[in-house]
A and B are shown apart, each in its own frame.
Chain A
């Protein structure tokens, strides 16, 4: 593994990332680019958004190796070999999953800029916890800033999904 990575990187400007289950080549790149930049500008996955590039807003949230991270704080070249999931990988275009639909139905979307990052964070929360209480929802989403909604409808959406999934499971 070490050799493969060293061969790939070093001063080469080409490497591959595993994104949404697919191997994607990153060509002609500058190795100083963040994962957010690479996803958007090199791989055409514009769903993750940049609103601060400091890890202070969560709009760029993705999963790397199952962990919710700010992609603006990940050096893309250092994520080689780690499975990455972006908003585009949550559900096929035109077929939103239950969490995404709940956001739409509960009025949790206004301008929508924070929304992909929030879906990722809520997705990670619901993967980890079946029955998140309201405080837990607030704390687990506290890394995602929304300037439009005041958060109330988002909490409602997450709660609805948690309840629906629990009752489906039983």
Chain B
């Protein structure tokens, strides 16, 4: 028998029980798919004395489409494997595209959208899509419940407005009729962290084009100037946008980026790449010149 730091693992089977745990011990580490937390525990870079594993909480494992509001609620425990496939994929194809690029089949079976939001890395694959969709993140505690727009939810690299005692319970995204897509640059074709990524959502109903950039700033970046230009220049009915507007859009996306140099890539390449992605996504949304 050896002395070790004691550790507790609670596996609640209802949301109420999970929230009770966090109410009593707000510093409890939340474990969902384990694809982020376990890496840190395995290497010893993080210690956890109390863990609440939420992978059995049915409320977090639910999702539903509400035709009345034209929205899709995705529970925090839904995995990227589930998001990548029908039926969820048909409601949010860009998110499904992003899901397919997450890690590997093993990772996708474990990684949850709630975990992705909880970690909130600027390189998180689903996050640019949530940003471009103006998704709303649901947070609950024992006594509170709130819905925070994604743009307000993420406040820095791996920093969110979630407070101790709160659990991410899900995210609501609009179901839109226009074109939407996601692109990610990585040096190999699988299991790669994005060096630059972008999500574009064209919504004819509101006449808007929304662009979100990943891995090129401390948070997921929106590009209001590029979006305004595209909304103005695009013809939704004929799916047309001029080559000149595409070029300007690309340049504005480049300018919106705030990338850094690191071991994965350089700021210069990231800025260049995210511009290319933005232009190509725009052209896919509006194929005609």
Q: Do these two chains interact? A: yes
Q: Which residues of chain A have a CB within 8 Å of any CB of chain B? A: 1-2, 5-6, 9-11, 28, 30-32, 34, 53-56, 58, 61, 67-70, 72-75, 77-78, 80, 121, 124, 139-144
Known: A53-B39, A73-B110. A32 touches B48 (CB 8 A): yes
Contact yes or no, B9 A68, CB < 8 A: no
User: Out of B7, B53, B189, which one reaches A11, CB within 8 Å?
Assistant: B7
Contact yes or no, A121 B105, CB < 8 A: yes
User: Out of B10, B53, B191, which one reaches A142, CB within 8 Å?
Assistant: B191
Contact yes or no, B43 A74, CB < 8 A: no
CB distance from B104 to the nearest CB of A (A): 3
Contact yes or no, B33 A73, CB < 8 A: yes
Cβ-closest chain A residue relative to B108:
A143
Contact yes or no, A78 B107, CB < 8 A: no
Apart from A6-B11, A53-B43, 19 more pairs, CB < 8 Å = A2-B12, A5-B56, A6-B10, A6-B12, A11-B8, A32-B48, A34-B42, A55-B107, A67-B81, A72-B38, A72-B42, A73-B39, A73-B110, A75-B9, A75-B34, A78-B51, A141-B105, A143-B103, A143-B191
User: Out of B7, B10, B35, B55, which one reaches A30, CB within 8 Å?
Assistant: B7
In order of increasing CB-CB distance, the 8 nearest A-B pairs are A143-B104, A78-B53, A142-B190, A2-B13, A77-B9, A73-B38, A31-B7, A53-B42
A-B contacts, CB under 8 A, total: 118
* Complex Cα spacing A67 to B55, Å: 13
* Complex Cα spacing A113 to B49, Å: 33
Known: A10-B8, A11-B8. A73 touches B35 (CB 8 A): yes
Contact yes or no, A31 B8, CB < 8 A: yes
Known: A34-B42, A73-B34. A121 touches B4 (CB 8 A): no
CB distance from A4 to the nearest CB of B (A): 9
B1 touches A (CB below 8 Å): yes
Cβ-closest chain A residue relative to B40:
A54
Interface core residue of B6, B12, B103, B105 (most chain A CB under 10 Å): B105
Contact yes or no, B104 A58, CB < 8 A: yes
Q: Which residues of chain B have a CB within 8 Å of any CB of chain A? A: 1, 4, 6-14, 17, 31, 33-35, 38-39, 41-43, 48, 51, 53, 55-56, 81, 103-107, 109-110, 189-191
Known: A55-B106, A68-B105, A73-B110. A9 touches B10 (CB 8 A): yes
5 contacts between A and B (CB under 8 A): A1-B56, A32-B48, A67-B109, A143-B190, A143-B191
* Complex Cα spacing A58 to B43, Å: 17
Contact yes or no, B13 A142, CB < 8 A: no
CB distance from A155 to the nearest CB of B (A): 15
Chain A contacts of B8 at CB under 8 A? 9-11, 31
Known: A2-B13, A31-B9, A54-B42. A70 touches B110 (CB 8 A): yes
Chain B contacts of A31 at CB under 8 A? 7-9, 51
Cβ-closest chain B residue relative to A30:
B4
User: Out of B6, B38, B190, which one reaches A75, CB within 8 Å?
Assistant: B38
* Complex Cα spacing A61 to B106, Å: 8
Chain B contacts of A1 at CB under 8 A? 13, 56
Contact yes or no, B105 A140, CB < 8 A: yes
CB distance from B195 to the nearest CB of A (A): 17
Chain A contacts of B81 at CB under 8 A? 67
* Complex Cα spacing A55 to B110, Å: 10
CB distance from A104 to the nearest CB of B (A): 24
Cβ-closest chain A residue relative to B21:
A6
Chain A contacts of B42 at CB under 8 A? 34, 53-54, 72
Chain B contacts of A30 at CB under 8 A? 4, 7
Known: A2-B17, A32-B48, A34-B42. A69 touches B106 (CB 8 A): yes
